[in-house]
Amino acid sequence: MSRLKTALVQQSCAANQEENVSKSCEQIRLAAAAGAELIILPELHCTPYFCQTEDLANFDLAVNVPGPITHKFAQLAEKLGIVLVISLFEKRAAGLYHNTAVVLEKDGSIAGIYRKMHIPDDPGYYEKFYFTPGDLGFTPIQTSVGKLGVLICWDQWYPEAARLMALAGAEVLIYPTAIGHDQRDDCEEQQRQTTAWMTVQQGHAIANGTPTIAVNRVGYEADPSQVTPGIHFWGNSFIAGCQGEILAQASANKEEILYGDIDLTQSEKVRKIWPFFRDRRIDQYQEILKLYREE
């Protein structure tokens, strides 16, 4: 397979899990009918973004992997003959929870999972209260459509994560995402943040010669605690080619399915003219293993 028809489901999420799952399934059916072979949903698409507050009741939203939710999506993947990337709040054991992406094969089997490694803890994004950092490393998941380097949201700011996935053979970098604006920021600051978010991921595509996909949610979600004015998720899901070029981009404020064809042969061509892997000085990078380099 040289060209991969991909669909990104940019959706809003309600308080009701069943409603969210039904919406996701309907969008998946539409994307598959349009010919998509790889379909990706945003971060934690089965629930509202509950991390705006620290509330013990929210742990009841977690699901087992595998479990009824993965089974429902697996049946759909098999029926439609697609590879599907979903994102769940995983209950691994009592008191042990992860932010987890599950990759489902065309036959409905679980091709692999990735547990979010970098966990933020900021106003409105209290993820450390809920999620244990992942323990599976940066390992691409082999599928029938290629080797997928799946990462999640906050991971997208870390070049180390993208590089390790690429070095392990990832043919595509994929970031299910839930990121938005603080309504107290002015328009200029909001635009700076969105631009930075896109730019850093385009940089990962360039530095690694690897196509990169970001799938964000969209819409406004109130802060249940009313401490903050809530989050307006900024959409802008996109696909970047392996030179950072934008192949497709969604709107900032609409639910939609974004389609794009990814040329899986382009990485090798680009890496021949930009041989960044060849010129890495791995003998000089020891300092990067320190938290901070003291003078």
Active site residue 189: no
pLDDT of residue 256: 98
User: Scanning the structure block, which residue is given the tokens 């959706």?
Assistant: 11
Q: What is the DSSP letter of 57?
A: G
| Cis previous bond, 133, omega within 30 | no
Q: Is 116 one of the catalytic residues?
A: yes
To which residue do tokens 């399934």 refer?
A: 25
All domains in the chain, ordered by first residue: 3-289 (3.60.110.10)
- pLDDT (tens digit, 0 to 9) for every residue of the chain, 295 residues total? 589 999 999 999 999 999 999 999 999 999 999 999 999 999 999 999 999 999 999 999 999 999 999 999 999 999 999 999 999 999 999 999 999 999 999 999 999 999 999 999 999 999 999 999 999 999 999 999 999 999 999 999 999 999 999 999 999 999 999 999 998 999 999 999 999 999 999 999 999 999 999 999 999 999 999 999 999 999 999 999 999 999 999 999 999 999 999 999 999 999 999 999 999 999 999 999 999 988 7
Q: What is the DSSP letter of 227?
A: S
**Cα–Cα dist 82/144, whole Å:** 9
pLDDT for the residue numbered 183: 87
**Cα 145 to Cα 128: distance, rounded to the nearest angstrom:** 33
Task: Single out the catalytic residue among 13, 51, 153, 242.
Answer: 153
Out of 13, 37, 43, 46, the active site residue is 43
Active site residue 153: yes
Q: Which two tokens stand for residue 225?
A: 């605690």
pLDDT at 82: 98
Per DSSP bridges, beta strands 172-177 and 212-216 are parallel
Out of 116, 127, 171, 221, which one is annotated catalytic?
A: 116
The three-state secondary structure class of 288 is: helix
Say what the pLDDT of residue 120 is: 97
The pLDDT value given to residue 21:
97
Which stretches of 81-215 are DSSP H helices? 159-167, 187-208
Name which of 45, 72, 85, 73 is nearest 61 in CA terms: 45
